[in-house]
Amino acid sequence: MAQGLNLGMEDAAVFGSLLSHVQTKDQIPQATAMYERLRLSRTSRMLEETEAHGARFHLSDDKLIEQRDRDLARSFEKDSNWTHPQQQKWIWSYDAYEDAEKAYLDEPF
């Protein structure tokens, strides 16, 4: 899915946003814990999707390659995990700053 750089930028945005609320060094562990809670599910899901894509696109068996290509061609005719608008929205419209600020406002440290 080629989202490594994107995830790194999201990480920096979330962590920077949370650290901007730190007033004392005693709050750093709380900010770090909140960062981990915010990022773990998204980065884990992205890793799972990336591994699945890697497996699909690095096949060596000709029959599996042909089946993958047929599936990919059909995916543009109907919603699929590769082209589904919700999947694309989940990847591209995530607002890291908004996520961090909402979490902080819901649970200030």
H-state helical runs in 20-84: 28-57, 62-75
58-85 pLDDT, tens per residue?
888 999 999 888 887 776 666 665 566 6
User: What Cα–Cα distance (Å) separates residue 16 from each residue in 11, 29, 64, 105?
Assistant: 8, 14, 44, 15
Q: Which residue has the higher pLDDT, 53 or 28?
A: 28
Q: Output the six-digit token pair for 13.
A: 């945005």
pLDDT digits (tens, 9 = 90+) for 4-36: 688 999 999 999 999 999 999 999 999 999 999
